[in-house]
Amino acid sequence: MATDLLPPSVTEPDGSAVVRVLSYNIRSMRDDRNALARVVRACEPDLVLIQEAPRFFRWRKKAAWLAAHSDLVVLGGGATAAGPLLLCSLRATVERTEDVLLPRTPGLHQRGFATAVVRIGGARLGVLSCHLSLQGEERYAQAGLLLDQLAAMGVTHAIAGGDLNDRPDGKSFQLLASSLQDCWAVAPWGGEYTSVPENPHQRIDAIFATEGVKVLGCGVPELPPADVRAATDHLPVLAAVRVPAGG
């Protein structure tokens, strides 16, 4: 499988950890759940940054279903973060989680961050999943709040990712890329465009890393086309990073 070409999860003798991170907008699991689970499972992630997780009736049960059928567990987020959700493998030891609701503009959707601090091997890592606004000014403000949130987490190394609703030449995307590593730009691997599965033509989903995290590869994995088209209306972004021990 094409995802095998990305470095596998491993803990190095010095305690540093190679971590596979997946970011994926799942459209509230309104499409083919089994195809969705197959896509996530095929990527063999340690951490999954979900956007548009189920938020209403029995949303916890749906999140638990996805985790179980993807060989993962629920880490945090969901409706309590207004949609962003975090899943993880048993490789991760959870230090803490926090769901953050962002200031809301009247008439627009509530937005939030799902965040956590985990330890994998000898590495300590902050994690943040986001889904930024469709409205430009609000989106730019949320990008700034994302940077503030990472700075406040008290970690040396962090990963943030999600559906930015912005392209690389947009103000919000560029604000994030000016302070963080845009993993695709640093180590492109696989495909670039994430929207839409039937005709990928734009990169509006991305994974970012703080300084000191070594990006080994990042992009859209090559997976069975029938599954990625049936699973949701975005393509997944998969990254492999090496996180130093400590932090």
pLDDT digits (tens, 9 = 90+) for 41-61: 999 999 999 999 999 999 999
Q: Which CA distances in Å does 170 have to 45, 88, 178, 225?
A: 28, 30, 12, 29
- 21 burial (CB, 10 Å; 0-12 / 13-18 / 19+) is buried
Tokens found for residue 184? 């695709």
Write the Ramachandran bin of 165: left for phi over 0, alpha for psi from -120 to 50, otherwise beta. Answer: left
Contact present, 89 and 127 (Cβ < 8 Å) = no
Q: In what order do the strands lie in the sheet with 112-120?
A: 93-101, 112-120, 123-131, 158-163, 205-209, 181-182
Tokens found for residue 74? 């629920």
Confidence of residue 4 (pLDDT cuts 50, 70, 90): low
Tell me the helices (H) and strands (E) count for the chain, helix number first.
6, 13
Q: What is the pLDDT of residue 247?
A: 75
Residue type for position 2: A
Contact present, 217 and 6 (Cβ < 8 Å) = yes
The Cβ-side half-sphere exposure at 49, using a 13 Å CA radius, reads 30
Q: Calculate the CA 219 to chain-centre distance.
A: 12
* pLDDT tens column, 219-245: 999 999 999 999 999 999 999 999 999
Residue 122's φ and ψ, nearest 5 degrees, are -100, 10
Tokens found for residue 64? 């638990």
At CA 53, angle to CA 134 and CA 202, rounded to 5? Answer: 45
Q: What is the pLDDT of residue 72?
A: 98
Does this model's pTM top 0.95? My answer is yes
User: In the 8-state DSSP scheme, what is residue 200?
Assistant: -
C-alpha to C-alpha distance for 45 and 70, rounded to whole angstroms: 9
* pLDDT tens column, 128-167: 999 999 999 999 999 999 999 999 999 999 999 999 999 9
* pLDDT tens column, 174-203: 999 999 999 999 999 999 999 999 999 999
Contact present, 240 and 19 (Cβ < 8 Å) = yes
